Structure 1
Amino acid sequence: MTSRLETLARQRSTQLVAGSVALVLLVVFVVWRSERLPTEAALVVDGSVVTQADLRRDVATLRAMYGVEPPRGEAKLDTFWRDAAQATAVSRVLDQAAEAEGVTVSPRKVDEALASYVQALYQGADDTQKQFTQALATAGTSKRAVEEEIRRRLVVAALTSRVTAQAPAPTDAEVADAFAARQCTLDVPERRRLRNIVVATRAEARTIRSDLDDGARFVDLARTRSADATTSESGGDLGTVARGQLESAYGKAAFDRPPGAVFGPVETSAGWNVGQVVAVDAPSKASYGTVRDALAQQLLLERQSALWKGWLQRRVASADVRYADRYEPDHPERLPAGVASWAEGQQDRCSPDAVSDQTAGRPKETP
């Protein structure tokens, strides 16, 4: 009898264990299924699905309004769509925050903003509304989508103002300290008015340089031989620029020569260049009285930026955001770059390394 009871107990125990394992597997399967996104989803924000079609429509609207174009190349395109998905996630989080805070804008303000946008886009043109409608159709979006984008931006602007209103204005002492720490960035650097001719090959540039050395007029050669359609008609005039606005090699050549001198050939990302120094504006030291108000405003913007980024980071971190594999960004926990760089200042930029970095000639403009 005892042996029979022990056998029954072992069978019962085995059944219980098997049942428990099955229950655990069922729970895991249900959780796994619940965490999977719908097939058509690009991302989900707090239970709200953003489909891949929604994301494409958002990008089409940005293309129509701001000229945002998906890049060429598989790797760049992959990064583009991941960035677009992350930006959309932040946008949806902001929508929820605005609703929770009761931040709204009237339809009249949206209409006024849209009218101003269309007027600026087609300034002086006839039948602007017709052209605008055609442009939207070409981009694959609609007037309603543009109105929604404008409404969202107006709401975010109002929300930003509300969040950053508590930022304290800097005191006179804080502005004075910032001036002492940042004076090197406030000084006006030497600037030069330049003319430029750009061609495809070094041989062409050497021929142009030889013609100039033989007495040819720079403006004449620029008009007839420069490949830069934006400056050729003006005789190659680049305007007045600082060295830091130019590509490094070009900036060095342009700022090593005296007024009136020709320099080059110099290679840049645009091609081979021959330039001319037209005039030189000497550098000048910034005075506290001249820059005080602008510096105070910059300090306030930096404080507002810190408040906004901290507030938004907490909102994004507390939201339940999930991405489809092909849309998940490399760092979903971070804010997009455009948000992270808003109103960042030049804190304590007068160290020797910073000064050296500033005078190195960053590639910001291409002759």
Structure 2
Amino acid sequence: MSQTRADQRSDLFDPVELGPYRLANRIAMAPLTRSRATDDGVPGELQAIHYAQRASAGLIINEATNISPQGKGYIRTPGIWSPEQVAGWKLTTKAVHDKGGRIFLQLWHVGRISHPDLQPGGQLPVAPSAVAPENQQAYTAEGFKPIGTPRALETEEIAGIVADYAHAAKCALEAGFDGVEIHAANGYLLQQFLSDKTNKRTDQYGGSIENRTRIVREVVDAVTKVWGGDRVGIRISPLTKFGDIGDSDPEPLYLSLVEELNAYNLAYLHVIEGDTGGDRNPPGGFDLQKLRRAFNGLFMANNNYTLELAIKAREEDLADIICFGRPFISNPDLVERLRSGAPLAEADPNTFYAGEERGYIDYPALTPTSA
């Protein structure tokens, strides 16, 4: 092996305390939508094998999982509201735990990023306001279809969505997960409420920062009542444009949100650094390290990290945990490959979504003689 072993020059591979858990290392597997559940959102043995293969990650955050039929935006994504889904996820949690791993479930409602083909009864997707995303498509059983204008939620409906999050959190607990992550990023429902580009409401859920962050605080409150704060994380993406999202002034919005979240003693803040490219002083002047300084828990960074960038982030104390995404698709033993300096396998993008075993559980790990 010609490369220097990374574990000789970084604490990336050292254990870290997260809530009640001692993680084996500071590497997290990012949630990756792979569309391999049944049409009813039930995971099975395939997911159990997939995640068990990757259990050497300090923490697995499993693929985004719909909290309700209304929360669905892509075909064959898993859910966490029915007894059948709970039973299916129990296969995964047992398989990961048998390998000594830890796994959180990500709670997901897509909001407007959907299509009537994917909604109960062919209804319109819901959102804080009837604002259509530009140039966005939904992945349906008949292929990609343009996303239209959603239906604005009535004020009295929002409590029901918060209750759906609480129910999903209880189902995740029953399924044996170690914790949950609330998805408030990537242009989906909770970020749609946060962002003034998509939230045009005039009730208590729109207008001021306090109002636009209200539903996120209500969801966090409901979920932590199920799990306790130390087994709950939250994912945000202040600078992302994914899903045609955006905010005119994200810094005060997200600093206010993070400061409010400190009351819940969350396990971690998962930040998608987005268009910054790792720049601590990106265009617009919003240094995301301000969020880390404002947050009382662990800071998880996600920005298409390479090994060298991850080591640099730890050396400069920019993050407590580094989240890797696509490299885990084709490298089930990514942690060992990074540790040993071994080359990474390339993933086949043609097998990212849908399908079965191919491109999902058939990527080989290194043999002892090849490391």
TM-score interval, normalised by the smaller of the two chains: under 0.3
Scaled by the length of structure 2, the TM-score of the pair is 0.20
For the pair shown, the structure with the greater C-alpha radius of gyration is 1
TM-score (normalizing by structure 1): 0.20
